[in-house]
Structure 1
Amino acid sequence: MVKKGDIVNFYTIMRTWEKDYRDRNPGIVVASQEPRGGYFDKGHAYILWANGDMTREHMTYLKVVPDE
């Protein structure tokens, strides 16, 4: 589960989406919502990206950057 304060990268195998996030990564989670039990609900998070953009992303597309 991604939580507030985590540093994340957007990750997908779809190249068309991947290129849209290349200049945004990494980002910091400013808020997150766990799944509420619906079949399609995977949870989401609001991310403040390195380039200053803020977006709402499905949890399935976020990978936490490991601590160094």
Structure 2
Amino acid sequence: MDNSAPRDEVPVEELHPADFDHNNNHTMLATKVRTNGNSYLTYRASNVYNRNINRTLRKRPRTWWSADRA
């Protein structure tokens, strides 16, 4: 896995696999991008809907991220 964080601005519908605790993978979907460039993610863990990507990065700074760009 790539240990770098995703860009602040990601295309809508782009998938972002993330490993929060280094033993369990989660897949997040970019669901919204504001005109100011802030991106929002949705994922099933804890029923998160349209969470600002920066909030996720601050809350879980040790997350391993990888890009799914098929």
TM-score, scaled to structure 2: 0.46
Larger radius of gyration: 1
TM-score, scaled to structure 1: 0.47
